[in-house]
Every structure is written in structure tokens, then in C-alpha cells.
Chains A and B, each alone.
Chain A
Amino acid sequence: MTALTSVVRVGIADLNIVREPNTIRTSGLGSCVGVVLYDEKKKIAGLLHVMLPDSSLGKSDKLNMAKFADTGIYALMEALKAEGVRPLSLKAKIAGGAQMFQFGSSDTIRIGPRNVEAVKKELGRLSIPIVAEDTGGSSGRTIEFDPATSILNIRTVNAGTHEI
């Protein structure tokens, strides 16, 4: 008999973790970046939906760590450590960072590419290797990660579905 599996959903500026046989998913990534950190052997993964590149952009007293690339990746790594994952065994897959519109205010212009750069910089700082990525372009993405296979499924409106 097959075990019932469920899909953990992650909202915008949000993060969560998942163990096999369940999967984890976030939908409608535009300029936002989905960051998956996973431990291949332990079959556990975390997903973060980053909205802004750096927490220094925050103009509020309350800090939502999952909103920013720098604080979000750190918070996701801490959440995985609390589940017994060693940071050295973590790998990353990332998707998103599209340029949905060709104009905006000075703060929003190039926000997608800036998010991708910030995510890569933070992963580099933490020595977490990026195994695969699907970033840039001008299409929205819905992504789902399966910790059992370490496969990230990416669905777009204009370019179909593929796996990395």
C-alpha cells in the first residue's frame, strides 16, 4: 500500500521544511526566488520564497526573515539544523528571479536579477553548492521539490514543465 503523501505549501516571504515522502511547493514566482536547501541522504529539504535581496531594504521595525535573501537563507539553514541536518551536507537548487515587466520604480527595476545575485552571494558565503538553477527570463514559475529524489519540478505558463 502506498503511503498518503501531502504537499507542504510555502507562501510568499515564507519558508518551511519537508521530509520524504511528502513534497514542498511554492506557486507564482515572478521576480521572487525559490531557494531549496536539501540533504540528499537524510531526504529532508527546506524551501524559501524570497521577495527582496537584502534585509537592509526593510523599513519596518518588525523583521520577517523569510522575506529577504540574506536573512531567509540563514533562517532556513537554522530550521534544517534544528532537524538534525549538518550544514556541510546541504545542497541548493534555485528558481525564479524573472523580469515580469520592463519598467518600475527605481527600487523595483531589475528586482528579479538582483534577488538571484543576492541568493547566490549568500549561498556562497555559507559554502552551500548550487547544484541546479532555472533563473531569469520573463515567465512566472511554480516549483515543487521532492526530497526523496532531490528533483525540482518547474512549471511555467509559456514554456511548459521541466525538471532540474
Chain B
Amino acid sequence: MSTDNPITDMHLDVLKEIGNIGAAHAATSLSQLLGRKIDMHVPNVRLVSFDEMFEMAGGSEKIVAGIYLRIEGDLSGSMFFVLPIDNANHFIRRLIGDSSFDFSQNPLPEMGVSAMQELGNILSGSYLSALSDFTGLNIYPTVPSLSVDMVGAIVSFGLIEVSQYSDEVIVINTRLHEEDEDGSSSVDGHFFLLPDPPSYLTIFRSLGVL
């Protein structure tokens, strides 16, 4: 099935359920890591153009900390966890107990990079193991890699596969959110799961909607 074939609302609902289950587990992991409550928003599943995908992540030029990993096995695709840079700073400062830490430094401080990659490991691991349990598919994530750069530069890397098939991509987008007592948000991250087009069929079949 390519994206040239119609993707129905039912298909999108199934993908939304995947986002729901995966991100719920990731939110729980993050809560445990931080010892604070993390809210998860209802996932948003859309077929969008590449430029619209960048808008979903904050706009092509916005500087973010982006964790990227590939998924292999029965299912292939790309996964991103994208945090605005001030959120990433806030998070890492709290995690490593160093209030001077800053991702704007060049080269990136090694301690923060490791901590951020570990965050990526924990969050994507819990997301993907939930996805694997739900679908019964074998899924193997690669080790996550971190880049602090513009959204367009980071996310386009995960669109290379899809771009060979289509000018649009199915994005399973889930937002994690934490508010401090004063109402300011300290964590506002997005998970983006981008299955490769040949895997759409695999997902739908595993869940009995094809």
C-alpha cells in the first residue's frame, strides 16, 4: 500500500491508538525519571506535506534538541523526540544537577549529551515496547542519536525514506507536557513516529483493519 491509496479515518484511528499507547508508557517513564507528573495530550495523526510536518515540530528554523532513531524488524520507520532547546536545558539541568548547563554551548557538553541520549533511550524504549506488545510485531530500535539544530535539518533526515514514495507523510504526533507551579511549562516535547510507507500495510494487518 502506498500513500497513493486512500487512507481512511479508520486507519488513522488505529494509528492514533498506537500513539496513545506508546506515549502513555513514555509519559509514565518520564514521570518516574523526574519524580513529577507529566501530562500526555491526545495524539494527533495526520497525512501532511513535509513543510507541514516541520510546522508541527515548531517550524523549519526553530532550534531544538532532536533525538532520532530508526526502527527495524517487522516494522520500519523513523522516530523523533523533539524538545525546544530551553526545555532540553531545563530538563538536563535538573537531571544532572548542574544549573549552568546549556545546549547552546559549542561543542556540546558531553555530560548533557549522554543524559539526553539516555532520555531518548528510555522514552523511545517504553514507547516502542508498548507498540510491540499492542501489535505483536517485532520491533528493534537503533541506538538514539542527538542533534541540536534546526527542525528542518533534523526532521528531514527521517523523511528521506518516505520521500522516495510520496510528498506526504503519515505523522503520529504525541505531545508530552509538564507545568510548573507558576504555570510555565518546563517540558513540552513531541514524539513523531513516521512509519516507512511499506510498513503501513504491516501495521494495519497486525491490528486486523485490512
* Cα–Cα, bound, A158→B160 (Å): 24
Decide if B154 touches A100 in the complex (CB within 8 Å): yes
> Which of B60, B63, B156 contacts A157 (CB under 8 A)?
B63
Q: Of the listed stretches B6-14, B29-37, B40-48, B164-172, name the one at the interface; the rest are far from the partner chain.
A: B164-172
State the Cβ distance, B54 to closest chain A Cβ, in Å. 7
- Contact between A52 and B160 (Cβ–Cβ < 8 Å)? yes
Are B160 and A11 within 8 A (Cβ)? no
Most buried by A among B63, B152, B154: B152
Interface segment among B90-98, B130-138, B143-151, B173-181: the answer is: B143-151
What residues of chain A lie closer than 8 Å to B161, measured between beta carbons?
105, 107-108
Taken together as a complex, chains A and B put the C-alpha atoms of A51 and B53 apart, in Å, by 15
Interface residue from B148, B157, B164 paired with A101 (Cβ < 8 Å): B157
Q: Does residue B118 face the partner (Cβ distance < 8 Å to A)?
A: no
Q: How many residues of A contact B (CB 8 A)?
A: 37
Output the least CB separation between A51 and chain B (Å): 5
Contact A30 B70 (CB under 8 A): no
Task: List A contacts of B148 (CB < 8 A).
Answer: 157-158
Within 8 Å by CB of B153, from A62, A64, A100, A108, lies: A100
Interface residues on B, range: 35 or more
Contact B167 A13 (CB under 8 A): yes
> In the complex, which residue of chain B has the Cβ closest to the Cβ of A64?
B167
Q: Do A67 and B163 form a contact, CB below 8 Å, given A30-B149, A104-B157, A140-B154?
A: yes
A39-47, A53-61, A75-83, A123-131 - the one binding chain B: A53-61
> Hey, what's the 0/1 contact readout for B44-72 against A, CB within 8 Å counting as 1?
00000111001000001101000010101
Q: Which chain B positions have C-beta within 8 A of A157?
A: 63, 148-150
B156's nearest neighbour on chain A, judged by CB, is A30
Contacts of A52 in B (CB 8 A): 160, 163-164
- The reply to whether B166 and A31 contact each other, CB–CB distance below 8 Å, is no
**Assuming A51-B160, A67-B167, A102-B145, is B153 touching A29 (CB within 8 A)?**
yes
Q: Find out whether the CB atom of B150 lies under 8 angstroms from the CB atom of A140.
A: yes
Instruction: Give chain B nearest CB distance to A38 CB in angstroms.
Output: 23
**Cβ of B142 under 8 Å from chain A:** yes
B153 contacts A141, C-beta separation under 8 Å:
yes
Apart from A31-B153, A158-B106: 7 A-B pairs, beta carbons within 8 A: A12-B54, A28-B54, A100-B147, A100-B153, A100-B154, A102-B145, A103-B70
Could you give 5 example pairs across A and B, Cβ below 8 Å?
A: A101-B145, A103-B143, A104-B157, A108-B160, A139-B153
Q: Nearest 10 CB-CB pairs, A to B?
A: A28-B152, A140-B153, A30-B153, A28-B60, A140-B150, A140-B149, A11-B51, A28-B150, A108-B160, A27-B61
